[in-house]
Amino acid sequence: MNILIITNTFTPHVGGVARSVEAFVAEYRKRDHRVLVVAPDFPDMPQDEIDVVRINAIQHFNASDFSVALPIHPHLTKAIDDFNPDIVHSQHPFLLGLTALRLARHRGLPLVFTHHTLYEQYTHYVPGNSPRMKRFVIELATSYANLCDQVFAPSESICDLLGKRGVTAPITVVPTGVRLDSFASGEGAAFRKQLNIPQDAFVVGHLGRLAQEKNLAFLARAVADFVSRHPPTHFLVVGTGPSIDAIREIFTRSKLAQRLHFAGILQQQQLADALHAMDLFAFASTSETQGMVLTEAMAAGLPVVALDAPGVREVVKDKDNGRLLHDTSVAAFSAALQWVYERTTQQRRALQQSALATAYDFSMPISADTALTCYATLSEQLQVKADADADVSNLDEILTYIKTEWDILKSFARAGDSAIDTHLFSEKD
């Protein structure tokens, strides 16, 4: 099968969507499917990319680490003609997501959309952030989903949420699977030595993009509170982003700067080494749609302490493979870290075994099987429809183009109306 994946973010950008796309692409290609990825330019892109079409983009949009694709991409049509896709898989409801919709409609191909993100949690990256903007992006994503043939939800929580928001297109839960072999082993001791972390230290770790929506100030305060009570403990942070200074300031203010370690962006074996240098994984984000970094941590045998949230509650089972907290106070999170710290060797081993079992349940082969089954079903349905509509005229193609543009305009208008209604209700309140 020839799978066309269109995304607003891709390697070398560090983030959940980019890593998800990269993981699925690798698994599909391993199974001898052809995959073409369409994505924006990013700084420091790999020079030897195969079957990747890059779109000119504005770098570091609004001082973030995101690139925004420009609306003109003249070389794209030929690349897609040469590729001859069987299916189009969009990763976003806007920017290149609209390109995916147009391409699928024009070529009569099935369109799949993965609802990776709670977009209302990210409106601080857009000028004019407000409750109206949040309502606008929620409605825009919902309308886009209903223009697709199939929606993938990364977790059961998000599947339920999309139904409540009015998504009527078929929804299938397809989490990003973890590649177990990538995290099964690592040189944790060597990694600790490299960062001057004592070999006998108890290390709390975190991995991810260090940005405002990840609730990292809270996480830093909670970990600092725990670390301050236990001299043999350290905090290891993998990743980078605008919140790095806030984390450092919290630890400096607590006179714990020597027990905070930033490892930067890591890939492949170095990432596995870092995870194996940790004893416990801490996670405080409530803006996730799936627990991808959690399953990666568990694949390295790490118990997880996390706040209850969509995408997290499907992965973390309280007192089984970690701690899942409904209490969102710093004191409660710090106490949960201490709970793991105080487990006996045998009890910690039980937590680790449960974490490994959870990672297996979220393995990439299982997720890819689900996705590919959906692709195959959509392709079969398309073939039946194509046989029924064998005589497509130029007029039909023009009407399809007009309808597509009209549907896009309607989705923006509906989102705008929803935002205005939100504003009116808030004024009445």
Q: Do 149 and 40 sit in the same domain of this protein?
A: yes
Terminal-residue alpha carbon distance, the chain: 53
Q: Do 229 and 245 sit in the same domain of this protein?
A: yes
Please report where in the chains the tokens 């099968």 appear, as a residue.
1
Q: Do 257 and 340 sit in the same domain of this protein?
A: yes
Q: Do 225 and 170 sit in the same domain of this protein?
A: no
Q: Do 218 and 192 sit in the same domain of this protein?
A: yes
CATH of the domain at 404: 3.40.50.2000
Domain that holds residue 142: 2-177+364-428
251 contacts 257 by C-beta, under 8 angstroms: yes
- CA distances, 79 to each of 55, 83, 197, 427 (Å): 12, 6, 49, 50
CA atoms within 13 A on the CB side of 25: 22
Determine the pLDDT at residue 417: 67
Rounded Cα–Cα distance for residues 73 and 70 (Å): 7
Instruction: Determine how β-strand 304-307 pairs with β-strand 87-90.
Output: unpaired
Q: Do 157 and 204 sit in the same domain of this protein?
A: no
Q: Do 312 and 420 sit in the same domain of this protein?
A: no
Q: Do 115 and 142 sit in the same domain of this protein?
A: yes
Determine the pLDDT at residue 66: 63
Q: Do 357 and 382 sit in the same domain of this protein?
A: no
215 contacts 286 by C-beta, under 8 angstroms: yes
Domain count along the chain: 2
Q: Fill in the DSSP letter of residue 344.
A: -
Determine the pLDDT at residue 118: 81
Identify the three-state secondary structure at position 313.
Answer: coil
Please report where in the chains the tokens 């690798």 appear, as a residue.
26
Q: Which of 361, 396, 412 is the last residue of a domain?
A: 361
Q: Maximum Cα–Cα distance for the chain, whole Å?
A: 76
Q: Do 293 and 153 sit in the same domain of this protein?
A: no
Q: Fill in the DSSP letter of residue 54.
A: E
CA-CA-CA-CA torsion sign (145, 146, 149, 153): positive
Determine the pLDDT at residue 297: 97
pLDDT in tens, the chain (429 residues): 999 999 999 988 777 899 899 999 999 999 999 999 999 988 888 888 999 999 987 876 665 656 677 766 778 989 999 999 999 999 999 889 999 999 999 999 999 999 998 877 766 666 666 778 888 889 989 999 999 999 999 999 999 999 999 999 999 999 999 999 999 999 999 999 999 999 999 999 999 989 888 999 999 999 999 999 999 999 999 999 999 999 999 999 999 999 999 999 998 899 999 999 999 999 999 988 888 899 999 999 999 999 999 999 999 999 999 999 999 999 999 999 999 999 999 999 999 999 999 999 999 999 999 999 999 999 998 776 555 555 555 666 666 667 777 777 777 676 676 666 654 444 343
List alpha helices for 277-393, DSSP H. Answer: 292-299, 330-341, 345-361, 364-388
Determine the pLDDT at residue 425: 41
Q: Do 269 and 378 sit in the same domain of this protein?
A: no
Q: Do 355 and 207 sit in the same domain of this protein?
A: yes
86 contacts 1 by C-beta, under 8 angstroms: yes
